[in-house]
């Protein structure tokens, strides 16, 4: 890896560049307002004095748009611009509602659209805001997920854009997870993915909304043939003003069977591990006690393979 300030050599776990001294890890700062009720009365442990909600620390991006979020040893994530892009068009948020309830959201802005980085950020923030309000109020997880992604669509569609310019309206993929004790509810549009990775198995919890999957499902092409097409990675569902009629998310539920990892990621990671077994091997190779270390190692692997796209990874560990 290289320092974003001086291009000196650094390691993924370095906190500062030894050459120029620039900080390499996003520093967390206390939240200034409650994510649930908006009150500014937040105590030293990030609890809201008005509604009792515990807010996640606010993490800032380091100079090259890399974001690191370490909510707890179990829950963390990293979003990195990779090696070929000038900006990071992915975005991520993580939230713990209590010891057994968590929210993870990853979005990948569509590069062919206008201001994809704003689309990804708006979708992530709207999704999380809806969920932290709906779930503690007793909202059913599937309904809450539908409402959250509808809120994300509204937020993305509200971003101004130039209708006469080249490029589609601001657009983004989304994958979001609600974890309630041993139940995971996943919602998605596009090709950002969620996986369950255990010691002896891996399960992809999402199915890409892609041209390739449509061709294979229709029987028009084999998977091998579809992979060779220049359209193989084209998505056919997303959040954006030009996709309002086709923006109902796919939703799936999964019962956690035991120890393992819930992993959400953008295609900047999974493009380098095209099969689930390859990703499982990678996770097992880089397994670490803290989710932030595992997240960093997975991101650095993608960078070491070329880092052609933005790379985002979110990890929640279940070690029983």
- 149-183 pLDDT per residue, tens: 999 999 999 999 988 777 799 999 999 999 999 99
Instruction: Name the residue with higher pLDDT: 191 or 21.
Output: 191
What's the gap between Cα 117 and its chain centre?
A: 13
Pair of tokens at residue 290:
């803290």
Confidence (pLDDT) at 29: 55
pLDDT at 215 over 80: yes
Residue 44 domain flag:
no
pLDDT at 190 over 60: yes
What's the gap between Cα 67 and its chain centre?
A: 11
Q: Which of the residue ranges 69-73, 165-169, 193-197, 235-239 would you say has the lowest mean pLDDT?
A: 165-169
What percent of the chain shows pLDDT beyond 90?
65
Residue 21 domain flag:
no
Q: Count how many domains the chain has.
A: 1
Residue 301 domain flag:
yes
What's the gap between Cα 290 and its chain centre?
A: 18
For residue 114, give Cα distances in angstroms to 63, 118, 166, 209, 310: 22, 9, 8, 21, 17
What does R_g of the chain's alpha carbons equal in angstroms? 19
Residue 3 domain flag:
no
Residue 30 domain flag:
no
Residue 89 domain flag:
yes
Confidence (pLDDT) at 226: 80
Confidence (pLDDT) at 14: 59
Confidence (pLDDT) at 187: 99
Distance separating alpha carbons of residues 187 and 150, to the nearest angstrom: 11
Confidence (pLDDT) at 223: 80
Across the chain, mean pLDDT equals: 87
Band (42; pLDDT cuts 50, 70, 90): confident
Residue 130 domain flag:
yes
CATH of the domain at 294: 3.60.40.10
Confidence (pLDDT) at 62: 45
Which DSSP string corresponds to 175-211? Answer: EEEEEETTEEEEEEESS-EEEEE-SS-EEE-----BH
DSSP letter for 1, please.
-
Helix ranges (DSSP H) in the chain: 116-134, 141-157, 211-218, 223-227, 267-270, 276-286, 291-304
Q: Residue 106: which domain range?
A: 65-318
Residue 125 domain flag:
yes
pTM for this entry: 0.81
Confidence (pLDDT) at 60: 43
């Amino acid at each position: 890896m290289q320092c974003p300030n001086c291009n000196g050599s650094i390691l993924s776990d370095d906190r500062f560049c030894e050459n120029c001294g620039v900080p390499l890890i996003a520093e967390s700062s206390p939240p200034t307002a409650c994510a649930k009720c908006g009150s500014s009365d937040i105590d030293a442990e990030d609890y809201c004095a008005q509604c009792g909600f515990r807010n996640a620390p606010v993490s800032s991006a380091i100079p090259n748009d890399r974001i690191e979020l370490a909510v707890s040893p179990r829950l963390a994530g990293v979003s990195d611009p990779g090696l070929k892009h000038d900006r990071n068009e992915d975005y991520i948020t993580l939230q713990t509602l209590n010891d057994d309830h968590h929210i993870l959201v990853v979005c990948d802005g569509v590069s062919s659209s206008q201001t994809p980085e704003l689309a990804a950020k708006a979708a992530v923030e709207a999704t999380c805001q809806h969920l932290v309000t709906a779930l503690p109020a007793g909202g059913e997880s599937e309904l809450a997920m539908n409402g959250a992604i509808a809120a994300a669509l509204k937020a993305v569609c509200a971003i101004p854009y130039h209708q006469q310019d080249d490029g589609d309206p601001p657009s983004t993929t989304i994958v979001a997870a609600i974890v309630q004790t041993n139940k995971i509810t996943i919602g998605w549009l596009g090709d950002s993915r969620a996986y369950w990775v255990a010691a002896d198995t891996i399960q992809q919890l999402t199915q890409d909304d892609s041209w390739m999957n449509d061709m294979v499902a229709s029987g028009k092409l084999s998977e091998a043939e579809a992979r060779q097409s220049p359209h193989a990675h084209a998505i056919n569902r997303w959040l954006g003003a030009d996709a309002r009629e086709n923006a109902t998310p796919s939703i799936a539920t999964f019962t956690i069977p035991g120890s393992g990892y819930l992993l959400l990621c953008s295609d900047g990671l999974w493009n380098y591990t095209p099969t689930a077994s390859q990703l499982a091997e990678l996770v097992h190779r880089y397994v670490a006690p803290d989710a932030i270390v595992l997240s960093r190692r997975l991101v650095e692997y993608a960078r070491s393979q070329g880092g052609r796209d933005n790379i985002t990874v979110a990890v929640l560990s279940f070690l029983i």
